[in-house]
């Protein structure tokens, strides 16, 4: 029985377009990829406990007019509170 090459091409085209093609069976499909918020990425760091920390603003320049105690407090890290953590986890999904 003779089958034309055009018929074979048509059947192959329908097979490939109707079936979903999986490119890798080892990795689960998790689309779409989530993007990390750039401003959050620059300002916050994730902690092993699940919280986040950041630096205080205003510690870099114009320090002559600031009291020493204020400069010491600005040098410390600030930690996220319970109200900020769900939003930070959404903004930094892979941290």
Residue 4 pLDDT level (bands cut at 50, 70, 90): confident
Domain that holds residue 87: 36-57+68-95
Is the full-model pTM beyond 0.85?
no
| pLDDT, tens digit, 9 for 90 and up, residues 28-70 | 667 789 999 999 999 999 999 999 999 999 999 999 999 999 9
Query: How confident is the model at residue 25, as a pLDDT?
Result: 63
Please report the sign of the dihedral spanned by the C-alpha atoms of residue 14, residue 17, residue 20, residue 22. positive
CATH number for the domain harbouring residue 75:
4.10.410.60
76, pLDDT greater than 60:
yes
Domain membership flag for residue 31: no
Domain membership flag for residue 15: no
Domain membership flag for residue 72: yes
Domain membership flag for residue 73: yes
Q: What percent of the chain has pLDDT over 90?
A: 65
Domain membership flag for residue 21: no
Query: What SS3 string covers 64-95?
Result: CCCCHHHHHHHHCEEECCCCCHHHHHHHCCCC
């Amino acid at each position: 029985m003779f089958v034309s090459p055009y018929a074979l091409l048509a059947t192959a085209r329908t097979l490939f377009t109707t079936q979903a093609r999986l490119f890798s069976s080892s990795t689960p499909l998790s689309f779409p990829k989530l993007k990390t918020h750039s401003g959050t990425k620059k300002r916050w760091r994730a902690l092993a406990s699940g919280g986040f920390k950041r630096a205080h603003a205003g510690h870099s320049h114009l320090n002559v007019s600031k009291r020493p105690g204020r400069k010491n407090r600005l040098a410390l890290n600030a930690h996220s509170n319970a109200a900020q953590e769900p939003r930070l986890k959404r903004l930094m999904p892979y941290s």
